[in-house]
Structure 1
Amino acid sequence: MSETLFVAFSTQKGGAGKTTLTVLMASYLHFVKGHNVAVIDCDFPQFSIKDMRERDLRNIERNPYLKKIAFEQFKKLKKRAYPILASRPEEAIDTAKRLLSAETPPDIIFFDLPGTINNVGVIQTIATMDYIFCPIAADRVVMESSLKFASILNDTLISTGKSNIKGLYLLWNMVDGREKTNLYSIYEAIAGELGLEIMKTFLPDSKRFRKEGSEDEEKSSFRSTVLPPDRILAKGSNIDKLAEEMLTLLKR
């Protein structure tokens, strides 16, 4: 069996989509691709993903439509929802050891890390990751912040061999339309000069990425910690392509 990989969508710019991407990829790889995953929510003190799990369970309990979907899924897959553990960033690796000591450790543990790298404990946790995916958007403020963040990791941790990081990849998120403008080419050139690699897959700017289940509507959810992304909503989202590219990079 392959050893458990530590993976994080990480950036120091809020609103870049790292928490949403963590949930989408964790759910897609767990429920659709058959990998066993776990999530450690380090977004202290709000713990966004842990709160999302509680909302998901509450909505399924109160919504007959979602309850039926969840029952049919469990009947088909015979697979429970992946575990989500809350942890302070500096204690995340100790929290992960609890998962690694299980009879069947996860194939992949996703870490939802805070953006700041001014904390020694956070830096030590980041340095323990196997792979880091940094969401970027064609916005000057977001790009400057993300490129600075990725460059610091690359120059101080990866290039120096002072970390466990095997790969750092930038990911275009919230792309406006299917055609990339010259702005994207300019930013990609800058990233290349900094020695940073950008993934081939990009994710479109779409409201579906914020669509969760509800207590009363008979509508499927796209972002959920207990259900895979709805197939109809997933069309054109590129999350299937992102998952395949990620698995290739992770050698899984």
Structure 2
Amino acid sequence: MHWIAPTEKDTATVALEKRLWDAADQFRANSGLKAQEYSAPVLGLIFLLFAEVRFSAQRARLEKAESSSRRGSRVDEPNAYHAEGILYLPPDARFGYLLNRPEAEDIGGKVNDAMRDIEKYNPQLSGVLPKTYHLFTSTLLKGLLKKVSEIPATMDYDAFGRIYEYFLGEFAMSEGQGGGEFYTPGSIVRLLTEVIEPYHGRILDPACGSGGMFVSSARFVSEHKKNPSAELSIHGVEKTDETGRLCRLNLAIHGLEGEIMHGGNVNSYYDDPHNATG
């Protein structure tokens, strides 16, 4: 993947974040689901829209190149997207397709199938994407898809990452004390980043949560006019599978990749799962 350079958050983005969150929180209240059951699926829809925006831009470039070339069509070749660090989305796994499904259909089942197909064509996301959309009614999912679609396709790619981070923070607060397991306030993460000055090398977070330290470190490198994807090697450990998946999704939406180990018997306090010490 390719690191997506940060931009300053403007007032329009701030207003959009709040509007989206207020709507998502209202949907949750009407769903009867707990915050921890609701957070990953909502974040998954934001990620899916982001993936489609990048996919569509690359598809347009391929179609333009095809019109002036005698080579065969590459618009439906996954490698033509992967080569640019972009996820390939099969037709039934695209946000627009899901958005246009009528409520009479099993939208939850179709979104679950879409997430499985994305993992199939993009193995780096294997086991990462949420597949619990069957817990939602089609009416609720239709409303959520419509609300997420309000994020402009013309928005800077980094803005999607910032919206994702904003939602992580809001979900953490809504879960109370439990939210601290996967989210550290941005101000603390930024302070730690400034102290360690991660210009280059390996980064190991033994309790990485949703990956805020990795994203902050990448921004630090980018602010010093270097490419984080080339300068940083990201390694993380997280005891819970759900939080580990949030971390991997957070990296993906920022154009980063890393070796994130989670769940099972992985324990970085007593073991060295990344062989970081020798």
TM-score with structure 1 setting the length: 0.32
Name which structure has the greater RCO, CA cutoff 8 Å, separation 6+.
1
If each structure's strand is expressed as a fraction of its own residues, which one has the higher value? 1
If each structure's helix is expressed as a fraction of its own residues, which one has the higher value? 2
* Larger Rg computed on CA atoms: 2
